[in-house]
Amino acid sequence: MSNVLLLGLLILIGAIVGGGTNIIAIRMLFRPYNAINVGTLRVPFTPGLIPKRREEIADKLGKTVEEHLLTPEGIQKQVKEGLLLSEFEERLTNAIEEFLKNEGTLDEWLEMHVDKKDQMKRVRQAVENGLETRILSWIYEYEHRPFNEWVPQSWQHDLTRRIPGLSNKILKKAEEYLRSDEGTEQIEKMVGGFFESKGSFTGLMGKMAHRFSLSSIITKELIFFLQKDETERLLTELLENEWKVALAKPPSAFIASEKIEENIKAFSKGIVGHTPIVGEWEEPLNTWGHKYQPIMIDIILPSVMTTVSLILSRYLKAFIKKIGIKDIVTAEVNAFPIARLEDMLLMIAKRELKMIAILGAVIGGIVGFFQGIIVLFFI
């Protein structure tokens, strides 16, 4: 019986030693976290393997990630297959649709998501001020210079060539007016008013003239006058002379300088107020955003995604090298707490580490069994 107890005791001791040794070995991968010194001597195997080789492990891991895992070739392959960009485009589309349905103004949205208050108001004010400044500077630069000095010659010649056609249109419109009921009525009023203003006798003559339709005679004569080539030539010459006189004058001859700044300010504000998006973004997004949704989703977004794909294909390799994936991974691994790393690995490999400890106990037990056999039968 004592031999059996001895054999069992040796097996138990071997199992405890084998299993305990494996558990200690597993723990020594991480612990102790720092070196332990006794006087000037450092205790062997301190710190643990991973804390001791932490920088080397981080460097090797960073190099492995950069050269074999997160490679430019692999990312370019994903980009070319379109899966990454398709998902990104879908997410952007949903984000745009949600953004344009927002019940707040653009300023309120920015204040909520970007912490920027009244940003769009400042932008609009800047646009108005910029436009106003630009127009005023242009006016001040040319207000005292004659038009024929700075208006392009091609424009001047083109407008001059259009004067005969303008004369013809003026005469045609005048003839149409005289032939209309409104024109006839107006001629009759003028004739009647003329005779009435000259006294009772002349008024009587006017009534007689009205009976003989003097106004129709005058209308016919006026129409005859308007249809003559000489009339068109005279009108053309008159317009050409006036055009030349106008070109020889500066803008200041036609624009009163007293209220020019006030007028330009109102003009700039009106222009910006009627500009798409800029003139609307003080209203809630859902009241005007739908007008631009097809443009943003069907035109702008595909163009942006095509540009992004092209840029990634051309410059991704250089971009990744410039970022330095290896340095990022190395820095992150070095900054990661050893205790958290230990807990994470032990949690992930809990079953496997438990089996390693059991295997050590089994091997230790087997070794104890053979030791017991040797002690009992050969010594």
pLDDT tens profile 303-323 = 888 887 777 777 777 777 777
pLDDT at 56 > cutoff 50: yes
- Identify the residue with better confidence: 232 or 311: 232
- Token match 């991973």: residue? 50
Range 46-63 average pLDDT: 82
Instruction: Find, among 88, 99, 19, the residue nearest to 368 by Cα.
Output: 19
pLDDT single digits (tens) 146-178: 888 888 889 889 988 999 999 999 999 988 988
225 within 8 A of 231, measured Cβ to Cβ: yes
In this predicted structure, what is the pLDDT of residue 274? 76
Q: Return d(Cα 235, Cα 242) in angstroms, integer.
A: 11
Q: What global pTM score does this model have?
A: 0.43
Is there a contact between 252 and 143 (Cβ–Cβ < 8 Å)?
Answer: yes
Least confident of 67-71, 174-178, 192-196, 215-219: 192-196
Is the confidence at residue 204, as pLDDT, over 50?
no
Question: Is pLDDT of 212 > 60?
Answer: no
Instruction: Enumerate residues 6+ apart whose C-beta is below 8 A from 146.
Output: 247, 248, 249, 250
pLDDT value of residue 9 = 86
pLDDT tens string 99-109: 888 888 877 77
Query: What tokens does 46 get?
Result: 């301190």
